[in-house]
C-alpha cells in the first residue's frame, strides 16, 4: 500500500509533544509506568509511519524528492531511538554504537523543522539545491576576478598547491580573462535553466520528473568541471591543463543544454542554441593560446 505524505505540520507538532512528555516522564524519580508505556506505543507508531512513508514513496515522485523525504524520516527515526535509549533495560553503548544515538529531544525539534520545510515535489527539491550551485559559481567567479585584478601573485588560502610569490604574466592574465568568460557564461546558463526550465516545469508526469532529475545530475558534472578549471588556474596556470579543463567544461555544458532542449518550450530553444555557440567561441579563444596550436 502506498501512503500519501503526512500532514507535516500536525505530524511534527504531535511528535514533538510526545517526545517532550516522554523525556519529562523519564526524568521523574518514580516514572509512571503506564504513561511511559503509552508514550512508547505512540512513538512506535511514529516510527512505523515514517518507515512506511520511506518505503512507499513512488519512484515517479523523483530522485531528489525521495532523497529529501528519506533523509528527514531516517533522522527522525534515529532521534526517537536516541530519546528512548536511556529507558532500555540494556541501553546501547554510546561509544560502540554512535550511529544509533543521533539526537535528543532538541535535535528532534531541529529535524521536525526540516520536515516542515520539506519540498512538495521534485521541482522544489531541485530549486533548493540550485541556489547552492549558483553560489558556488559566483565563488569561482570572485576568485578568478581577484586573480585577474590583483598584483599578479598566486595567493589562495584554500589551494593545496599555493605558489607564493609566483607572478602572473600578461599572457597568464589574458588566459584567466578567457576562463572567467566561460564561467560567467555558465552562471548565465544556470540562471536560465532555473527560471525557464526548473521553475516553469510542473512535475505532473513521469517524463518531466525524470527530466528534472537528469538536469540536476548533469549540473553536478558541470560544477565539477568548473572547479577543475578554477583549480588549474590556482595551481600553476599551465596552459595545456587549462585548455583541457575548458574543453571538458564546454563539453558537459553542451550536454546540459541538450537535456534542457528536450522539454523546454519552443520560445527558449533558440536561446539555448545561441548559448551553445557562445561556448564554442569562448573555447576557441582559449585554445588559440595553447602552445600546441
What is the architecture, at CATH level 2, of domain 122-287?
A: Up-down Bundle (1.20)
Q: So what's the pLDDT on residue 21? A: 79
Identify the band that residue 157 occupies on the pLDDT scale cut at 50, 70 and 90: very low
Bridge partners of residue 73, in order along the sequence: none
Q: Are 188 and 182 in contact (CB under 8 A)?
A: no
Who wins on pLDDT, 1 or 59? 59
pLDDT single digits (tens) 173-196: 889 999 999 999 999 999 999 999
Banded pLDDT at 142 (limits 50, 70, 90):
very high
Is 209's pLDDT higher than 60?
A: yes
Q: Measured at the alpha carbon of residue 186, what is the angle toward residues 180 and 187, in degrees to the nearest 5?
A: 90
Alpha-carbon separation of residue 197 from 54, 243, 253 (angstroms):
28, 30, 15
Is the confidence at residue 271, as pLDDT, over 70?
yes
Mean pLDDT (whole number) for 30-47: 76
Q: What is the pLDDT of residues 69-88, one digit of tens each?
A: 999 999 988 888 877 776 66
Amino acid at each position: 500500500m502506498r501512503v500519501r505524505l503526512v500532514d507535516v505540520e500536525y505530524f511534527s507538532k504531535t511528535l514533538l509533544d510526545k517526545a517532550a512528555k516522554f523525556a519529562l516522564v523519564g526524568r521523574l524519580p518514580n516514572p509512571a509506568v503506564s504513561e511511559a508505556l503509552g508514550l512508547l506505543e505512540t512513538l512506535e507508531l511514529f516510527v512505523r509511519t515514517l518507515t512506511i512513508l520511506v518505503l512507499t514513496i513512488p519512484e515517479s515522485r523523483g530522485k531528489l524528492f525521495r532523497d529529501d523525504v528519506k533523509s528527514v524520516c531516517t533522522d527522525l527515526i534515529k532521534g526517537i531511538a536516541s530519546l528512548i535509549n536511556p529507558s532500555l533495560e540494556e541501553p546501547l553503548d554510546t561509544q560502540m554504537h554512535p550511529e544509533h544515538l543521533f539526537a535528543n529531544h532538541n535535535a528532534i525539534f531541529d529535524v521536525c523543522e526540516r520536515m516542515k520545510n520539506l519540498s512538495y515535489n521534485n521541482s522544489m527539491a531541485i530549486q533548493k539545491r540550485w541556489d547552492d550551485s549558483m553560489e558556488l559559481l559566483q565563488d569561482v567567479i570572485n576568485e578568478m576576478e581577484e586573480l585577474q585584478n590583483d598584483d599578479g601573485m598566486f595567493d589562495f588560502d584554500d589551494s593545496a598547491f599555493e605558489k607564493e610569490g609566483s607572478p602572473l604574466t600578461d599572457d597568464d592574465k589574458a588566459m584567466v580573462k578567457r576562463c572567467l568568460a566561460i564561467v560567467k557564461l555558465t552562471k548565465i546558463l544556470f540562471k536560465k535553466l532555473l527560471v525557464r526550465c526548473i521553475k516553469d516545469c510542473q512535475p505532473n508526469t513521469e517524463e518531466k520528473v525524470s527530466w528534472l532529475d537528469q538536469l540536476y545530475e548533469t549540473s553536478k558534472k558541470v560544477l565539477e568541471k568548473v572547479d577543475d578549471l578554477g583549480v588549474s588556474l590556482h595551481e600553476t596556470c599551465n596552459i595545456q591543463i587549462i585548455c583541457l579543463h575548458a574543453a571538458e567544461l564546454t563539453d558537459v555544458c553542451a550536454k546540459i543544454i541538450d537535456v534542457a532542449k528536450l522539454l523546454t518550450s519552443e520560445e527558449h530553444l533558440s536561446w539555448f542554441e545561441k548559448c551553445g555557440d557562445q561556448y564554442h567561441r569562448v573555447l576557441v579563444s582559449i585554445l588559440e593560446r595553447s602552445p600546441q596550436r
